[in-house]
Structure 1
Amino acid sequence: MTRDDVPADFTRALDRDAADILRYLERRLGAEDAADALAEVMVAAWRRADAIPADPEQSRMWLFGIARNVLANTRRSEQRRGKLADRLRATLTAARAGGAPADEGLEVRDAIGRLAPDQAELVRLIHWEGFAVAAAGEILGISASTARTRYQRARADLKQALSVSSAATGVSNSMDR
C-alpha cells in the first residue's frame, strides 16, 4: 500500500490521535520506549488501514485498541527477555562454580591480546568458540586461505610470546598441538 492508497480517514485519525496515543504509551512505558511503541502502533494500523472506522470516535478507539495490543506484546517480550536473562545468569553461575580458576590461562589470554586484532579474533573464534579455520575466516569475511595464513602466523607469534613467557616462569604452552 502506498501513501496514495491509504484511506483519508486513516491519515486524519493518525494526525488527530497520535499525540494522545503517545501520552497513553508514555504513561505506561516511560518516555524512552513510548516513541518506539507509537511507531509499532502506526505500522500495525497502517497494515489494517482499510479497516479503520469512518467515525472519529470509533477510529480513536480502534487506534487505542491497537496501542493496547502493542503494550501487551511489549510486556510479554520483556517477561520473556527477563526469564531468558535469569536462565543465562543461572547457567553462567553454574559454569563458573565448576570451572577453572579465574587466573588459569591468563598468560595465553594476554599473549592473544597482544596479537593484531584480526589475528586475535581468528584465534579466539577457533580456540574459544570451536570454529574450524575456514568457518572462522568466513565469520571474519576473509577467504579460507587467508584465514589459514593468518592463523599460522598467529600461532607462530603466540608460540614465540609464550616460549619467552614460559622460559621466565617455567610453564609449558598449549599452542604446540
Structure 2
Amino acid sequence: MMRRRSRSTRQAHLERAYEANAADLLSYFGRRVTIPADAADLLSETFMVAWRRGDRMPVESEQARMWLFGVARRILANAARGAARHSALTGKLREHLQALPTEHVDAETLDIRAALDAIPDDQSELVRLVLWDGFTLPEAATILGISESTARGRYQRARIQLRELLHEHQYERNTP
C-alpha cells in the first residue's frame, strides 16, 4: 500500500527531482526533437505530470530519475503522434486546397486589397469580416470583441477612406 506524502514533503521531493534531473531531461528531449524550443516544452510537460502525480514518484533518487525518464518517454511519444496527426491533416488540407479552382485576381481586386492594407488594421479587418466573410456588423463586432457602436463608427470611417483610396487608384490607373 502506497502511503501519501504531505504536500510540503511532496513539493520538496519534486524540487529535488527537478534540480537533479531537469538538465539531463532537457538534453534527452533536445537530442530527439528538431526545434529546440520543443525540448523545453516537453520538459515542462514532464514536470507537470510529476507535479500532478507526485505521490507516484518513487522517493529514492535513482528510482525517481527512472520514473521521470519513463514519463518523458511517454510525453515524447505523445508529441510525436500529435505531430504525425498534424502533418497528415496539413497534407490533406493542402491537397484539398490545391484541388479548388484558383481565383482570378484582376487589377480591381488588387486595388481593393491595397486599399484595405492602407487603412488601419482594426478597420480593414472589420470590412473583411463584413464584405468578404459575410458576417453582419453586429457579428463582426462580437468576433473582434468591440461594441456594435464602435464597429459602426469604424466601419463608416473605413468606407470613407476606402472610397477615397479606390478613387485615387482608379485615377492613377487611368492616367497615362
Could you tell me the TM-score, scaled by structure 2's length? 0.78
Residue 94 of structure 1 corresponds to which residue in structure 2? 99
Which has the larger displacement, 78-87 or 102-111? 102-111
The Cα shift of 1:64 comes to: 0.8
Counting matched residue pairs gives 167
Q: 2:118 aligns with which of 111, 114, 119?
A: 114
Residue 123 of structure 1: how far off its partner (Å): 0.5
Partner AA of 2:102 in structure 1 = G
The amino acid that maps onto 1:92 is L
- Amino acid of the structure 2 residue aligned with 1:99: T
- d(CA) in 2 for partners of 1:43, 1:8: 15
Q: How does 1:1-177 map to 2 (within 5 A)?
A: 4=8, 6-30=10-34, 31-95=36-100, 98-103=101-106, 105-163=109-167, 165-166=169-170
Deviates more, 1:17-26 or 1:67-76: 17-26
* Displacement of 1:26: 1.7
Give the superposition deviation at 1:90: 1.8
Is the 1:122–1:151 contact (alpha carbons within 8 Å) kept by the matching residues of 2?
yes
* Unpaired runs of at least 5, structure 2: 1-5
User: Does structure 2 conserve the Cα–Cα contact (< 8 Å) formed by 1:7 and 1:50?
Assistant: no
Deviation at 1:122, TM superposition (A): 1.1
Q: Do the aligned residues in 2 keep the contact of 1:37 with 1:70 (CA within 8 Å)? A: yes
Change (3 A) 1:58 1:135: same
Unpaired runs of 5+ residues, structure 1, are: 171-177
Q: Under a length normalisation based on structure 1, what TM-score does the superposition of the two structures give? A: 0.78
CA displacement at 1:121 relative to structure 2:
1.6
Name the amino acid aligned to 1:103: D
Per the alignment, residue 3 of structure 2 pairs with: none
Structure 1 residues 9, 115: CA separation in 2 closer, same or farther (over 3 Å shift)?
A: closer
Alpha-carbon distance in 1 for matches of 2:76, 2:162 = 52
Q: Distance in 1 between matches of 2:18 and 2:53?
A: 13
Distance in 2 of aligned mates of 1:106 and 1:93: 22
